[in-house]
Chains A and B, each alone.
Chain A
Amino acid sequence: MARLTPEEVKAFLIDTLQVSGAAYREVDNTLLLAEVTVEIPPLFFDPPRLEKQTLNLVFTPEASANYPGAELVIPGSYRLNWFIDGLQERGNYTLQHFKFTGAAAKSEKALAALRPELKKALPLSSPAEEARPFLLVNYTLSFQTDELQEELVSLGLDMVSGTITPDFFRCLGEAEALPGAPETGVATPSYTLEAAFALLHQYLEELVQARDPRWVNEARVRYEEELTCLYQYYQEDQRDFGDFHSRALDLYDKFRPRVLVRPVNVGLLYLPVLVYQLPKEGRKEKTVLRYLPFLDKLETSGEFESPTIAKARARKQ
């Protein structure tokens, strides 16, 4: 379990209480009172009975001493896990769109950073804004041998280009999400959901292959040590080979590396794309620049020639 400070635990609980609509009160910096609804197991009541309970929660052992009877909520505690378990039913799917709220100058600065040759063309005319669909899937990857290591992977698949952006959720930062899809200017996706998931799975396969192989190699060494030990027991006494074989298989099952992939939640998100059109130059077609501010990414369609290159070409002619 991740290491959390008492403040982080408290913030998580308050967020959870807010999302679930439960009443709560911060008595002081250390004590939190929360009124929650608890389900009495169907084992006793069918259907399960719901009951209101008031929880007195503290977050440090010192506070626990000041408030006898209050429940200490720390990483790994029953109560924190209770809140986490309660969230299993929430936030599994979401549909949101985002707006670009920055100033024109800001986006132009970013464009210039991405493509320095654009600097001469600045300032650009006002961009059009379109919304591009992304499929965001957050996964837990459990790397299992006889040991376990878990990671969270957040992948965003551009449903138009098929490009996958790792650590996608972090790209969104604290931006304001607006519920639902935008009403206009939505780019048409080129990928179906089935195809999108196939791409994501392929990406995950590659991600695992590219991982530092020590976790596999070390498990293999341990497995071979066990297998050798097992063999010593059976070889001299010529015991039942079938027995040896089945035990060896069990060992293999214990040590073989596998990666269990669990989706945490899925979002259909529409991210803003700023579409700049550069004027036609000579025989060149109009150049269209598509800037994705949340991903800080630039796409070009048509041919764009930097002014320096254009001047050089004119001189030559």
Chain B
Amino acid sequence: MGSILTTPGEFAPQLEFFTKPEEIIKGIHRQEWDSWAAFRLRLRAAEISLFTGFDDELLIYPHLRERWRQCGLIPYPHQEATVKRVIGELRGRALLADEVGLGKTIEAGMIIKEYCLRGFAKKILILTPASLCRQWAAELSQKFALYPVLAKADFDWGRYDLVISSLDLAKQEKHRKVIEGLYYDLLVVDEAHKLKNPSTKNWQLVSRIRKKFFLLLTATPLQNDLKELFNLISLLRPGQLGSYRSFRQHFMVDKRTAKNQEELRSLLGRVMIRNKRGPQIKLPRRRVATMPLSLSGEETEFYRQVTGFVKEEYRKGERAAVNRLTLITLQREICSSSFAAATTLFQLSQKASVAEAEKIVTLMELAGEVKENTKMNLVEEILRQTGEEKVIIFTEFLATQRYIHARLKRKGILSLTFDGSMSASKKDFTLGRFRRDPAHRVLICTESGGEGVNLQFCRTMINYDLPWNPMRLEQRIGRIHRLGQTREVYVYNLISRGTIEEHLLNLLLEKVRLFEMVIGDLQRIVNYFAREKSFEARVMGALVAAENERELSRNLERLGDELLSRLARKEEWGVDDLIMAPDDSDRRPQGGGPEDQAEDMGRAPAATADQIR
């Protein structure tokens, strides 16, 4: 067969003898003869173990059937199809981009195990964010009988075959050098959206690791910039999208608009698999309840004064003493708790001029007058009504988290806190305790703490405050509303009347019907706002521009209209637009949302915990 790239000699099969004849001869000379029956049986065992080629059957199923029966794991058809496609058609190199909660880790675990059983992979490296290392180790050992080592020392890389490490550890100079000198049969990188920039150490490390098979896992392969997608795909298979210059010419109108989408979709489809919720992948029903509450007089006054201060500073633009991001944070904090806002106010007072500091100190004094947060009364009521059920309370702010913890303690309710500052082992311990100890029925979780964590053993969630980014809200819910969840999921959104929170929820719930959307649509919203300003900034703009609540409502209404018209025109693409064919209707995002996906119980303005149960 003629070729300009290879010579026949380069592709002449080479025999590699596993055992040297001298060693076999030594064995013969030892005269440790076994019986003829044992000899025949040994040969029979070898015959049974022969790998006779790729067929449609996965080896993991018979191998792990007993274990999966014991641990209650039943792989879903889309997971099996993904494993078969990665091992077959994609030849072990894929971007697994399933939506949040559809079991990417299980798919990766199945692929790893399948390769191990087929004798294709021995030396395996898994790179994840530090917070997920232990979760990965637990999943692999419990569900796949794989026993990885969590890398610590520089000799771990060479000594052990199956190693899990954080990207941060692996990229440290002393570790990086060792890793780059090794050859891996399989490399898996979780949360791969952190690998979008080729000038980062993360990207360079992953690019330089020598590997035969390669899996990237992320639910958000594409956010704002097509170049990021190019970088991610080029990491997986350099040249799949050509060089950057050719990619830009052929596929990009600007950094956020693609052209020749059919062709691009076809190219992406050869390396990327994205499973989405829909008629074929159903999750238990999700029940969402809005719990409106009236703030106390002190709280209302504090909210009014802080909002006034925020508006005033925000309108100053560049002349403001406080930067806009801090103002947005302060406005979000005031919706969470007086304690969260007081923390930021204190920090501001330290840097402010005398005149400004006076204003801020006045606000802090007001915060001091708020002794109890009304939201907590409702939390206690929900906890009372949910009986023995485990409950997760999400908040964005540490100060609020501490306050909730203290209040529950006072009530005799044992709770655990979970946040991003905790060490991996402490996180592990906390989750284990929450799961197993009936006495601790509440987990108070911050956003950063909850990233990537699986809590589907629990089905009740309270959003103590509302993140302004709708994707974040979905990611919170995704912790419990994911594959493996067998019961209906209850989500309580606590909303203070007369605050931006109330208007925002109205926008998301009533107008955009957030909880009926699929994630692809959410992503499009986020993409759209990434063009100009973030969604948070637009909400803030609407607040600042409003003189009263009516105006605020009208401003947010307009924002909603803008969103809906953009969604209807499908001008804003998401990853799903690029990897799914237009006629792939059963897998495409559906505006109305499948019935089993969400049931919003929050439209009645005064839903109570009683109505929910």
Q: Give A contacts to B, CB under 8 Å.
A: 1-2, 4, 12, 15-16, 18-19, 71-72, 74-81, 83-84, 87-88, 90-96, 137-138, 140, 142-143, 146-152, 154, 169, 177, 179-180, 193-194, 197-198, 201, 204-205, 208-209, 211, 216-217, 219-220, 222-224, 227-237, 246-247, 250, 252-254, 256-268
Contacts and interface: CB of A to CB of B under 8 A. Distances in A.
B3 A220 contact: yes
A220 B1 contact: yes
B150 interface: no
Interface centre among B13, B17, B19, B91 (most CB of A within 10 A): B13
A96 B36 CA distance: 7
30 contacts: A12-B41, A72-B66, A75-B48, A75-B62, A76-B63, A79-B66, A83-B45, A87-B45, A88-B45, A91-B43, A92-B42, A94-B38, A137-B24, A198-B21, A201-B17, A208-B15, A211-B13, A217-B1, A219-B11, A220-B11, A224-B3, A227-B5, A232-B239, A233-B238, A233-B239, A236-B243, A236-B245, A261-B17, A264-B43, A265-B42
B35 A256 contact: no
A268 B28 contact: yes
Interface string B1-18: 101011000111111111
Given A224-B3, A228-B5, A233-B234, A205 B118 contact: no
Contact of A15 (B41, B61, B238): B41
A220 B210 CA distance: 20
Nearest to B60: A76
Contacts of A208: 13, 15
A179 B35 contact: yes
Contacts of A233: 234, 238-239, 242-243
Contact of A149 (B17, B21, B36, B51): B51
Contact of B237 (A83, A219, A229): A229
Contacts of A177: 36
Contact of A258 (B15, B27, B48): B15
Given A76-B117, A232-B242, A197 B38 contact: no
Nearest to A176: B36
Contact of A1 (B40, B59, B210, B237): B59
B38 A147 contact: no
Contacts of B10: 252, 256
Contacts of B169: none
Given A78-B145, A236-B243, A152 B47 contact: yes
B18 A261 contact: yes
A156 to B, nearest CB: 13
Interface string B267-308: 000000000000000000000000000000000000000000
Interface of B: 1, 3, 5-6, 10-19, 21, 24-25, 27-28, 30-54, 59, 61-67, 91-92, 117-120, 145, 183, 210-212, 234, 237-240, 242-246
Given A95-B33, A233-B238, A236-B243, A259 B13 contact: yes
Contacts, number: 239
A149 B42 contact: no
B46 A152 contact: yes
Given A19-B38, A78-B145, A71 B66 contact: yes
Given A93-B28, A150-B52, A81 B63 contact: yes
B13 A224 contact: no
A217 B10 CA distance: 11
Nearest to A208: B13
B149 to A, nearest CB: 13
A258 B240 CA distance: 27
B34 A94 contact: yes
Contacts of A72: 65-66
Given A138-B46, A233-B243, A204 B25 contact: no
Nearest to A140: B46
Given A223-B6, A262-B19, A91 B65 contact: no
Contact of B42 (A90, A142, A235): A90
B65 A84 contact: no
Contacts of B32: 92-93
A-B interface, 5 closest residue pairs, ranked by CB to CB distance from nearest = A91-B42, A76-B62, A233-B239, A91-B38, A197-B21
A128 to B, nearest CB: 26
A179 B62 contact: no
Contacts of B66: 71-72, 77-79
Nearest to A76: B62
Contacts of A91: 34-35, 38-43
Contacts of B212: 146, 250, 253-254
B126 to A, nearest CB: 19
A177 to B, nearest CB: 4
A209 B378 CA distance: 79
Nearest to B43: A138
A1 to B, nearest CB: 6
Given A72-B65, A78-B64, A234-B238, 12 more contacts: A15-B41, A80-B48, A91-B35, A96-B36, A146-B212, A179-B33, A194-B21, A208-B13, A223-B11, A233-B238, A264-B42, A266-B24
A15 B50 contact: no
A69 to B, nearest CB: 10
Contacts of A96: 36, 39
Nearest to B246: A236
B63 A77 contact: yes
B243 A232 contact: yes
Contact of A257 (B13, B24, B119): B13
A232 B243 CA distance: 6
A149 B52 contact: yes
A15 B39 CA distance: 12
Contacts of A229: 237-240
B62 A263 contact: no
Contact of B245 (A4, A150, A237, A262): A237
A253 B18 CA distance: 18
A94 B50 contact: no
B14 A257 contact: yes
Contacts of B239: 228-234
A256 B42 contact: no
A85 B48 CA distance: 11
A178 to B, nearest CB: 8
A94 B31 CA distance: 8
Given A76-B59, A216-B11, A265 B39 contact: yes
B53 A149 contact: yes
Nearest to B13: A257
Contacts of A194: 21, 25
A87 to B, nearest CB: 4
A7 to B, nearest CB: 14
B44 to A, nearest CB: 6
A12 B6 CA distance: 46
B31 A95 contact: yes
A138 to B, nearest CB: 5
Contacts of A220: 1, 3, 6, 11
Contact of A12 (B48, B183, B211): B48
Contacts of A12: 41, 44-45, 48
Contacts of B47: 2, 152
B21 to A, nearest CB: 4
Nearest to B47: A152
A312 to B, nearest CB: 49
A259 B25 contact: no
A24 to B, nearest CB: 15
B19 A77 contact: no
Interface centre among A1, A4, A193, A253 (most CB of B within 10 A): A1
B144 to A, nearest CB: 11
Contact of B50 (A2, A236, A267): A2
